[in-house]
């Protein structure tokens, strides 16, 4: 059986860029939600409340507001997941750096001790 390997290369900046794109899309959805809200509030300027189509217009607008809010919530969840990944990447980088510094110090201490002991041998 052939052995295979899978190498994944991830870049922190890719995640940060995706977060920024999502934030932009969330802002656009917020604008859409606000425009639909304004349309709903101003609907009586164009259609009289007694008109048979008034309720249908209100329902359509509310349905679009709900859909936009669901999309916004979904993007928010995705953004949070990506941000957690970035935070984990940052933490891992810090841990690796601390481990390397600790190992370097341990090696330096060991070499220093070996140099002090060498003349005694």
Residues 3-30 pLDDT 10s: 666 666 778 889 899 999 999 999 999 9
Residues 67-78 pLDDT 10s: 999 999 999 999
Total tally of structural domains belonging to the chain: 1
On whether residue 2 sits in a domain, the answer given is no
On whether residue 66 sits in a domain, the answer given is yes
Give me the domain span that covers residue 33.
12-120
On whether residue 102 sits in a domain, the answer given is yes
For residue 55, what pLDDT is reported? 87
On whether residue 7 sits in a domain, the answer given is no
d(Cα 56, Cα 62) in Å, to the nearest integer? 10
């Amino acid at each position: 059986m052939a052995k295979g390997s899978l190498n994944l290369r991830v870049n922190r900046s890719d995640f940060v860029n995706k977060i920024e794109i999502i934030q932009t899309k969330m802002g656009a959805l917020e604008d859409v939600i606000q425009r639909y809200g304004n349309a709903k509030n101003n609907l009586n300027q164009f259609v009289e409340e007694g008109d048979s189509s008034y309720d249908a217009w209100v329902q359509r607008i509310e349905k679009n507001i709900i859909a936009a809010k669901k999309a916004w919530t979904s993007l928010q969840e995705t953004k949070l997941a990506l941000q957690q990944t970035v935070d984990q990447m940052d933490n891992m980088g810090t841990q690796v750096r601390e481990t390397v510094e600790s190992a370097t110090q341990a090696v330096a201490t060991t070499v220093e001790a070996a140099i002090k002991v060498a003349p005694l041998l």
